[in-house]
Structure 1
């Protein structure tokens, strides 16, 4: 291990997205999984982009904005497309004094689903009864958006190693490959950076996913300094219903 000079307090990896809240007459039912792509296509792709009054900075943007407003030195490493949504999000982050290190594949052909561009988007559909459903433009694609990227850019690695804390969540696997997640984790640990990990709802899918996903999740659960989970998420990762007991089980698996 080598300890680098820490010029940042917090750096986040991935999950830079725009949230768009739209009202719809009817939500797709959970049992209608096969209808979701058609529902998405009809309400989102086939229409012009909604007015910016419905847009919000989402994902890890909430964390870095709050941290910056508290006076911390903050940076975000992630993917922003060269599109209207990406320009909007970059403007929001820069206005909050947040350093942004963008990562992108060499090829213009990224492995993304239908969208207005390459920026990660999350639609929140709300029906007249205020029930809601979340859709992401990564939800109908195979593999991460930047699945062919084999190495993190040098600037991204430097940003991670020069930060006191690296924060990532389970949705980073929608953006980069499990191998790159593991690489970022190892680079951070080598530099003495503290790891915060929030598996979120994605943790359950990762635990039953590909061998690479399961290996990366296992490493994160073992090597993370601070895990952030709800009781339901802890149960899904341990099979233990009692939240306190599940927490102790995760602590026992920790290797740091």
Structure 2
């Protein structure tokens, strides 16, 4: 039995060891993917996570598979696709700003994920299904895969968690809002950034944006507020938790780290304010390290950062 199942595209990511992308001669190679980031984050915190996906049956695909498996994530439902390549991403740091990201994913194996890749019983073996708005933006078959996973979870009493993870390089805010609204209505948890929430809803401010998600049918709405921390509301009560001081080196992956920290506390039955605190702490640790997964904390590291004796896993 798993604690969390997620699905989506994972890629190889490269960033220059020094200098701008166009002048770089040497690169660091790693793994990137919003959903597998969360799975790795939870595995490091002592939870049983599984990732569903497609990778190219190539050197990069095998590297990604080995890396995610090596983090303790169950990859038994990952398919190596000989007919399509593994996606590639390049990142370029820009002083004082979020990194520039360049995707080479058109026709990738990840974009060929489909409902046939989703094992309903596998999804049903988990306590939580985590999905994002990235996967349904990749292709019609990917959208069908997410819908199949959400339906399998709902039929088996598994809580659905959605991170909209809006990517304007993949689709516009209006198209994303129309596609994600049905998923929001079936989600027990929605974890969104305030800015992307404003783009999706066409509203401004925390209360108005949270209200849009609640009107769409979400159970608990969590808004990530950057350095200010996070807030959550179920329409009746509102909770807030301040952010932690951090020397920001790389903001990529902060939202995925927040999700892993939040879910870790949620799965342990902690109150909403504690869930927010765990999410904020994990996010603060990640932004101080370059890379999507490199800064994801292990259980003892998160406990030490929070000043706690241990991070509960059950």
Q: Same fold (TM over 0.5)?
A: yes
1:8 paired with 2:14, answer no
Residue 242 of structure 1: CA displacement? 0.7
Residue 132 of structure 1: CA displacement? 3.1
Deviations 1:208-243 (A, max 9, x none): 33xxx7654121111111111111111011111112
1:9-158 to 2 correspondence within 5 Å? 9-22=3-16, 25=20, 54-59=28-33, 60-100=35-75, 101-103=77-79, 108-110=82-84, 118-126=85-93, 132-138=99-105, 140=106, 145-146=111-112, 149=114, 151-153=115-117, 156-158=119-121
1:37 counterpart residue number:
none
1:205 to 164, 171, 189: 171
1:38 counterpart residue number:
none
2:187 counterpart residue number:
224
TM-score by length of 1: 0.71
- Cα distance in 2, alignment partners of residues 255 and 232 from structure 1: 18
2:124 to 155, 161, 166: 161
- Cα distance in 2, alignment partners of residues 93 and 223 from structure 1: 28
- Cα distance in 2, alignment partners of residues 129 and 237 from structure 1: 26
Distance 1:20 1:226, change over 3 A: same
Could you list the structure 1 runs, at least 4 aligned residues long, displaced by more than 6 angstroms after superposition: 128-131
Deviations 1:171-219 (A, max 9, x none): 212264322321221111111111111111237936533xxx7654121
CA contact (8 A) 2:174 2:200 kept: no
TM-score by length of 2: 0.59
CA contact (8 A) 2:5 2:49 kept: yes
2:156 counterpart residue number:
191
Structure 1 runs not aligned, ≥5 long: 1-6, 28-42, 111-117
68-77 vs 195-204, which deviates more? 195-204
Residue 67 of structure 1: CA displacement? 0.8
CA contact (8 A) 2:4 2:50 kept: yes
More RCO (CA 8 Å, sep 6+): 1
Structure 2 runs not aligned, ≥5 long: 220-314
- Cα distance in 2, alignment partners of residues 98 and 131 from structure 1: 28
- Cα distance in 2, alignment partners of residues 169 and 72 from structure 1: 20
Deviations 1:91-140 (A, max 9, x none): 112222211111466xx544xxxxxxx222221123688873111122x5
Distance 1:214 1:25, change over 3 A: closer
- Cα distance in 2, alignment partners of residues 225 and 129 from structure 1: 36
